Every structure is written in C-alpha cells, then in structure tokens.
Chains A and B, each alone.
Chain A
Amino acid sequence: MDWLFFGEISLAGLAMGGLYALIALGFVIIYKATRVINFAIGEIMMFAAYLFLAFAGGMEMSPWVAVPLAVLGGALLGGVIEKTMIRPMLGESPIAVVMVTIGIASILVGLVELIWTADPQLLPSFLPRQPVFIGELYLAPKIAYGFLIGMAVLVIYLLYFRFSRGGVALRATASDQAAAYSMGINVRRVFNLAWVFGSLAASVAGILVAATGGLSPQFGIIGLSVLVVVIVGGLDSILGALVAGVFIGWLETVAGAYLGGEYRMPATFAVLAVILVFKPYGLFGTHEIERV
C-alpha cells in the first residue's frame, strides 16, 4: 500500500469534509431551532454561488466585495423562505414541511435556470493557485484555501452561539420552545434568524464548493451528501455535524479513489444505513421519547 498516496487522498477528503461540516452546521442550526429538515439546502448553496457568479463574473466586482454580497444574498434568501413558505406550515406534520422544502428546491432550480440558463458555468477564480504542500503531501490549492475559510467561518459560528445573546436565544429555543417563549425570547425572530444563519453558512460553503466543482442547476445534488452527514451525526447535534462531516467527506473521497467514482454514494449511504439500524438518532443526536 502506498501510504503517501493514502495520505494525500485522505487529506483531500478531510478538506472536503470540512466543507461538508460547514454545510451540515447550517442544516443543524435550522433543524435545532425550527425542527425543519431542509431539503433545499443544496439549492440555497447553489443560489448563493450563482449570485457570486453574477457579481464577480457579470458585474466584474472584486471577490472581496462579491463574496460577502453573495453570502448575504443567500442568507436573505433563507430568511425570505422562512417568512413566506415555512412560517405558514408551523404546527403541520414534519413530513408536510419537508415536502415544502422539496418544493422550494424545485422553485430555486427553476429560478436559477430562468436567470442564468441551464448552461454549465465556471466561477471566476479567486483563490490562490500555487499548490500547497504539507510535508510531502500535496493538496490542491482551492481545496486547501476553501477548507481554511470554511473552518474560520465555523469557528466564528461556534463562538457566536456560545457567547452572543442571539446564540443563547437560539439554544434556549432549541432546548425548550415554550420555556424560551415565557422567558421573553422572541421565538418567531429566532426561527427567522436560524434560517438566515443556516443559509449563510450554506452560502459560504456553496461558493467554495462551486469554485472547485463548477456550477450548474444540478448543483443541489450535493444536498444528498449533506443529508447523510446530518443523519449520521445526529440531526440536532453541532458536534455530530462536525465529526460526521469530516468523516463522510473522507470516506467519500477514499471510496472514490480506491473503488471508483460509482462507489462514492453507495459507500456513504451504506454507513447511513448501518447508523439508521443501530443508532437511529445518529452518533450524537438526542433520542426522542414519544408519549401518547
């Protein structure tokens, strides 16, 4: 076995996993606060990436301006979706809400095709292009810098939720909605904020992923990989999102490299199936107790 090769592959996989972790974080924030499984997360990522393309490519803004603008646009989109389409579903069965997010995904795909056509696109390159070496291990520059940016955002998020007022409100709402409400927390606002922050994380990740993988209206497929991550990690666990994100990213890449690209999805979904059977609520998720 070629350990150097294994090391390089693993490194690439872990870096990709970092981005998965960031997307999963966005997913978990939304789920924790609002109990909504967001099947449209891949499409929100895609939308932000297209916004970046419009700002940086079409209007030729500097990436320093275009990235924040696109990310804000993605976050705003999340807020609007929550206000207009998720809020009316409050109290409906989770299945109905999930279907609404599936519908939203389809609407977003249509909008993107309407505005930017279905043609494949490349983002203007905005990351340094010199190869990165860690010891002897080569790492593609886009992946390396993408990983660093993703991690930075992740750390900011974790600090925010730990220490800021908004973060505390969000955690309070997640742990007991009624109690949070009676303590004077504006739960509706928290719901909206959760979607905004969740979409923001997804938007950052969306731009980073599209920068390496290219962009097309089929981009949302990545949402499936993220779904695996959050189920394996546990839907309501931030720690789970991080650990599972990195692990699934690694597994997918290693399976792709050693077995072939057609094994990427089956490999991660096999892990998913095992987790579902043995630990249905994920590695770190909270076990739900049902009462009649």
Chain B
Amino acid sequence: MFNQLMQKGRQLAGIGSLVTALGLAAPALAQDKEPIVFGGSIPLSGVFAFAGIHGHAGLTDYTDWINSQGGIDGRPVQYVMEDTAYEVDRSVAAFKKITGSYSPPVYYGDSTGFMKSIASELNSMNSMLMSGASFATALTDNEQYPYQFIPGPSYSQMFGIILEYIASEGEGGDMPTVAFVYSDTEFGKDPIENSKARAAELGIDVVEEIVTKPGSVDVSAEVLKLRRVRPDYVVFHGYVLSPINEFMVQMRQMGLDTKFMGTFWSSDKLIIDKMGKDADGYMGIMPYNYYDAEESGPMLDALRAQAEKSDPEAGYRPTAYIQAWFNAMVWTEVIQRTLDAGKELTGDNMAEALASIKDWDTGGIMGIPVTVKDMSFPVGRIWRVNAAEGRYEPVSDWIHLD
C-alpha cells in the first residue's frame, strides 16, 4: 500500500519539474517581457490532497500549454505555488509569502475558509482576482467578495440544476420526492436553505433532511429514517466518499429503488474506484466534461493532449485537474479582456472583465456557451455512473441556470 503514496509522488514528478512550479528556477520561456504570475495555495498534503495534487497538475499543465501558445498577450505565464496541507492559517501564510515576492493578478485558493479569511485583505489590495477549489454560495455575494469568483455553479446552483433535473423526471402532477443528506460542516450546510426554497418553487417535496456528524459513524439509523419516507431521490452534499456508499448499499438492501445524486466533490471517479459495482446508477452533477467523456472540442482536446504529454502513464485525469484547468482558462480570458480594453490588471477591472463574459465558448470544457452570473458559471449536466464501463455518462442535456 506504500506504493499509493509513491504513485502520488510519481504523479507529481510526472508533471514535469516541480522546481519551475515552485518558482525556484527561471521561467520556462525566456522572453524578455515580465511574466504574468498565477499564484496558488495548493493542498499537496492533508485531507484534501486527493484533489490538491491533481489541481496542481492541472495548473502546471495549463501553464505549460498557454506558454506553448505564446502566453497571454505576448507575456509568459509563471505558476507559483505553496503547499498548505489544507489548513487555513497555512494557506494564508502561503498567500503572504507568494504575494511578498510576486504580484500575481490571479490566485488559486484551496478552501472556503481561506477564501473568506483572505477576503478583507483582497478587497483592500484591489489587485487580484481569486478563485479555486471552493464553490461556496457565499462567494457569489459581490458586495462582500467582489474579487472572488466560482469556476462553475455554486453549491446552491448545483442543487438548483439537480432539482431541475429531478423535476423534469416527474410526470404531470406526480412530482418525485427528494431527501437531502449532508454533513454537519460549513461545506455540508452551504446550499441547504436555498435548495429547500428552490424545491418548494419547483413543487418538489423535500421529505427528509439528514445531517451526519463528520467522521466515521454508522448511518443505519439514518437509513431507517429514509426507509420510512421512501424518497425517489437522495441528494448528498458535503462528502467525498463515506457515507454515500453505506446509504446506497443499505437502502438497496432494503429493496428501495431510490436514485442517488451528489454534487461536484462527490462526483469523481473515486466513487467508482472505491465502491465498484455498488456505484452503478449513482448520479453526479458536473459543470465540465469528464476527461473520458465522448465529447470533444478544441480546448478539451488541448487539455487531453497536454495531460498526455506531461505524464503519458497517468491515463484518466480527475475532475480536480479539469477544475484547475478551467480556473486558469478563466483567468487567462479575464486578463486578456482587461488588457485588450487597455486597462490595468486591478481587481476592479478584472472583476468587470469577468462580469462581461457572455455566451463564452469554452472549447468543449463546458458543453454549451456560458454566461457569468454573480461571479459564477451556472452551468451543469447530470451524469450517471456506468459501473461496468467504469465511467460517468451524461443523462441530461447541459443546463444553464439564468
């Protein structure tokens, strides 16, 4: 089992030289123009490392790719990061360290806690746009977080898309019922209030709400509750893996034909890899195409080519990789638009450029053109696990919330 970690190391090593990533060596492109710096607080270790390592790979690969395309506006891109171990205070330390030596116009934040803690500083700096691993609903508040955006739908919007899908499955007056299962954390509780309101609007009955304590606990009592109300759908939020598997297995053992759905961080391959055939039929919402989706597009192909080039042995790239790539794509677009308008790279100008993104073609990363709304990209699609194939397959059209 030790080789798991070594394998991770290999993934890191395979990215190319991490030295470049750490900013110790000269920028890859020896152009005389001053580079544009992508900063990042990245959890290479700790509880979020499973995503952080791939996010790091995504950002590194994107940087290499954009430099091979001539950089942004003729300027090379340099990616500078620090490990945070997914601790807020260390994320902030990393931020201070990086902004002390560089002036990155864009920055990848690793957690909602970090994004919130750094907000006041970001607001007074007015020189940076930030996004990252968080899809927290709160960040769509432009008053409080004017320089932070979400690289996809917020958790509330994800629920909105899920609920819209569920509503579309209902026939006539026979709306499906739904139960929410979420963890007792900030992450878990994020979209619940909004989603109950949205469900009521759509006429969907939320028949049960289950809060689980973080950590490993037996959920059979909660399953018994669900058995009483027999929801047509259970939507999970705030988990990576456990206890989703336990709910699914136990409810199926009881003979319920409930369908199971989850949000972004609970919709990766990990579910299939760990649960095996028990994962069959599980549905997730994903704003991007999966790495192994049948779709294609210029940007998606470029991503696959770059991933293949940087580590030919890696094969499938998790959603965290694509998520990070998309973050960097948006940064590039925003910086490009700001520079094109002849403006400086201030927070205000970049936020304005971001807000101006309308019917943007993401080159296949997202399946349809996207329009920014409240600092988020409210697009998503429902995918279902095909355990025999070991992958997610689309079951809905792309849904764009307005």
Complex alpha-carbon distance, A12 and B227, angstroms: 14
* Distance in angstroms between the alpha carbons of A221 and B185 in the assembled complex: 15
Among B216, B220, B249, B250, point to the contact of A216 (Cβ < 8 A).
Answer: B216
Which one, A53, A117, A264, contacts B50 given CB within 8 A? A117
CB of A290 closer than 8 Å to a CB of B: no
Interface flag for A122 (CB, 8 Å): yes
Asked if B221 lies at the interface with its beta carbon under 8 angstroms from chain A, I say yes
Given A5-B224, A256-B222, A262-B211, residue A213 in contact with residue B8 (CB < 8 A): no
Contacts of A139 in B (CB 8 A): 220
A-B contacts, 29 listed (Cβ < 8 Å): A5-B224, A12-B220, A16-B218, A50-B1, A57-B1, A58-B1, A116-B1, A117-B8, A117-B50, A118-B50, A119-B50, A119-B270, A120-B242, A122-B241, A122-B242, A131-B254, A138-B224, A142-B220, A212-B220, A213-B219, A215-B216, A216-B47, A218-B214, A253-B218, A254-B221, A256-B213, A260-B211, A261-B211, A265-B213
Nearest CB in chain B: distance from A24 CB, A: 16
Q: Which residue of B lies closest to A139 (CB)?
A: B220
Please give, as numbers and ranges, the residues of chain B lying within 8 Å of A138 by CB-CB distance: 224, 227, 254
Are B215's CB and A261's CB within 8 A? Answer: no
With contact pairs A138-B227, A257-B225 given, residues A213 and B184 touching in the complex (Cβ less than 8 Å): no
A152 to B314, CA, bound (A): 46
Q: Is A140 an interface residue (CB 8 A)?
A: yes
B1-A118 in contact (CB<8A): no
Taking CB atoms, residues of chain A closer than 8 Å to B8 are 117
Query: In the complex, which residue of chain A has the Cβ closest to the Cβ of B8?
Result: A117
Question: What class of interface size applies to chain B in its complex with A?
Answer: 35 or more
Total contacts A-B at CB 8 Å: 135
Query: How far does the Cβ of A12 sit from chain B's closest Cβ, in whole Å?
Result: 4
If A118-B49, A122-B274 touch, does A222 touch B216 (CB 8 Å cutoff)?
yes
Contact of A262 among B49, B184, B216 (CB under 8 A): B184
Within 8 A of A (CB), among B28-75: 45-47, 49-50
Interface hits, A11-56 → B, CB 8 Å: 12-13, 16, 50, 53-54
User: Across the interface, do A141 and B216 meet the contact criterion of CB distance under 8 Å?
Assistant: no
Q: Residues of A contacting B227 with CB < 8 Å? A: 138
Q: Which of A5, A113, A262 contacts B228 (CB 8 A)?
A: A5
Closest to A2 in B: B228
Contacts of A130 in B (CB 8 A): 253
Interface residues of A in 123-140 (CB under 8 A from B): 129-131, 138-140
Q: Does A121 contact B (CB under 8 A)?
A: yes
CA A141 to CA B245, docked complex, whole Å: 14
- B310 interfacial contact with A, CB 8 Å: no
Contact of B218 among A115, A143, A219, A260 (CB under 8 A): A143
- CB pair B50–A261 under 8 Å, yes or no, is no
CA distance A114 to B46 in the complex (A): 10
> With the chains together, A137 CA to B221 CA distance in Å?
12
Q: Chain B residues near A254 (CB, 8 Å)? A: 221
8 tightest CB-CB pairs across the interface, nearest first? A214-B242, A213-B216, A261-B211, A221-B215, A140-B220, A120-B241, A257-B221, A54-B1
Q: Is the CB of B216 within 8 A of A140?
A: no
Q: Interface digits, B247-288 against A, CB 8 Å rule (1 contact, 0 not)?
A: 001100110000000000000001000110000000000000
Whether A116 lies near B253 (C-beta < 8 A) is no
Decide: B242 and A131 in contact? CB cutoff 8 A.
no
CB distance from B189 to the nearest CB of A (A): 9
| CB atoms of B45 and A118 under 8 A apart | yes
Query: In the bound complex, how far is the Cα of B62 from the Cα of A265, in angstroms?
Result: 45
Residues of A within 8 A of B225 (CB): 5, 257
Contact at A13–B254, with CB atoms within 8 Å?
no
**CB of B26 within 8 Å of the partner chain:** no
A-contacting residues, B188-245, CB 8 Å: 209-225, 227-228, 240-243, 245
In whole angstroms, how far apart are the Cα atoms of A113 and B223 in the complex? 30
Q: Which of A57, A143, A219 contacts B220 (CB 8 A)?
A: A143
In the docked arrangement, what's the CA distance between A78 and B129, Å? 51
B245 proximity list for chain A (CB < 8 A): 122, 214
Pick the contact of A120: B1, B45, B274 (CB < 8 A): B274
Shortest CB distance B187–A (Å): 14
- Other than A117-B5, A117-B49, give 11 A-B pairs with Cβ distance below 8 A: A113-B45, A116-B5, A119-B49, A122-B245, A131-B253, A212-B219, A213-B216, A218-B214, A261-B184, A261-B222, A262-B211
Q: Quick check: B5 and A261 within 8 Å, CB to CB?
A: no
| Minimum Cβ distance to chain A for residue B280 (Å) | 15
Q: Counting CB contacts under 8 A, is A272 at the interface?
A: no
A-side contacts of B253, CB under 8 Å = 129-131, 140-141
Alpha-carbon distance between A256 and B4 when the two chains are bound, in angstroms: 36
Write the nearest CB–CB distance from B274 to chain A, whole angstroms: 5
**How distant is the Cα of A264 from the Cα of B183 in the complex, in angstroms?**
13
The answer to whether A140 and B223 touch across the interface, beta carbons within 8 angstroms, is: yes
In the bound complex, do residue B218 and residue A209 qualify as a contact, i.e. CB atoms below 8 Å apart? Answer: yes
Pair B246/A9 contact, Cβ less than 8 Å: no
Chain B residues with CB below 8 A from A221, complex form? 214-216
**Alpha-carbon separation in the docked complex, A216 to B1 (Å):** 14
Contacts of A9 in B (CB 8 A): 221, 224
Q: Which of A58, A122, A139, A142 has the most CB of B within 10 A?
A: A122
CB-CB under 8 A from A129, the residues of chain B are 249, 253
State the Cβ distance, A22 to closest chain B Cβ, in Å. 14
Complex contacts, A57 vs chain B, CB 8 Å: 1
List chain A residues, Cβ under 8 A from B211. 260-262
B241 and A118 contacting across the interface, CB-CB below 8 Å: no
Q: Does A97 contact B (CB under 8 A)?
A: no
| Complex CA distance for A261 and B183, rounded to whole angstroms | 8
